[in-house]
Amino acid sequence: MDRHERILQILKDKKKVKVQYLSEVLNTSTVTIRKDLKLLEAKKLLFRVHGGASLEQPFVNDKHINEKEFIHAKEKDAIGRQAARIISEDQFIIIASGTTVLALARHINPQNKITIVTSALNVALELLNKENVEILQLGGYIRDTSYSVIGHYSELILKEIACSKLFLSVDGLDLEYGLSTSNGLEAHLNQQMIEASKEVVVLLDSSKFGKKSFGRICGLEHVDRIITDANIPQDINKKLVDMGITVTIAGTE
């Protein structure tokens, strides 16, 4: 078996590997390994990522919300239910856009009045007929792929308010790149939401870990809590906890 075949076999077993690991296992210089990975990527046999290679595409493309809603739907519902449990009464909270925060909206049933600020039209409609929920719908240009608004008008409102929690759904979480979403303007709006919030709670299913998308929202130092499912990679879980982030596995509290 030649070196390229061995690299692909190792990658098949591990899904993602570092250049340094391949160098040690194959007793080859890191320079040679990087050249190997470049050639194998050109043949569309793997994807190069920072410091190594992966079998999975690390970059997330934009998909219509109607398609995304049915991907990992069971996990998203459990995450939304878990997130609803940490909403205290008489709070002012922000809910961003996305299918996982839409799942959260479906489980919100407060006993006392709360005010929810949202950029997502479908979140607002989900909450519209619920008792004790007052909605502040942000305005602006509508993204037809996400049923959410973006732009200057929304950002002006966010500069004038302060909320206790932000529930944020993202397309990718990378330990070095941070949080990201597929639209640059939406990423900028999410940044303003973070500025307006005391606590940032990120809701994402485990398929989003190790992924990047076009619009970088922020580094992980801005995140207080993550709610996800049981399939989160254990090494990532440990690193997040070591950063001081509270990681909650849906259905375990």
Residues of the chain with pLDDT under 50: none
Q: What is the pLDDT of residues 57-79, one digit of tens each?
A: 766 665 555 556 657 899 999 99
pLDDT attached to residue 251? 80
pLDDT attached to residue 61? 62
Q: What is the pLDDT of residues 169-179, one digit of tens each?
A: 999 999 999 99
Other CB atoms within a 10 A radius of the CB of residue 159 amount to 10
pLDDT attached to residue 177? 92
133 contact partners, CB below 8 Å, separation of at least 6: 108, 110, 113, 114, 116, 127
The conformation of residue 145, written as its DSSP 8-state character, comes to T
CATH topology of domain 3-56: Arc Repressor Mutant, subunit A (1.10.10)
pLDDT attached to residue 2? 86
Question: How many whole angstroms separate alpha carbon 123 and alpha carbon 100?
Answer: 10
pLDDT attached to residue 62? 57
**Would you kindly state where each structural domain of the chain is located, as residue ranges?**
3-56, 65-249
Question: Burial level of 81, CB count in 10 A (0-12/13-18/19+)?
Answer: middle
The conformation of residue 171, written as its DSSP 8-state character, comes to S
pTM of the model: 0.79
Class of 65-249 per CATH?
Answer: alpha beta
**Collapsed DSSP state (helix, strand, coil) of residue 65:** helix
Contact 208, 184 (CB under 8 A): no
pLDDT attached to residue 37? 86
How far is the first Cα of the chain from the last one, in angstroms, to the nearest whole number?
49
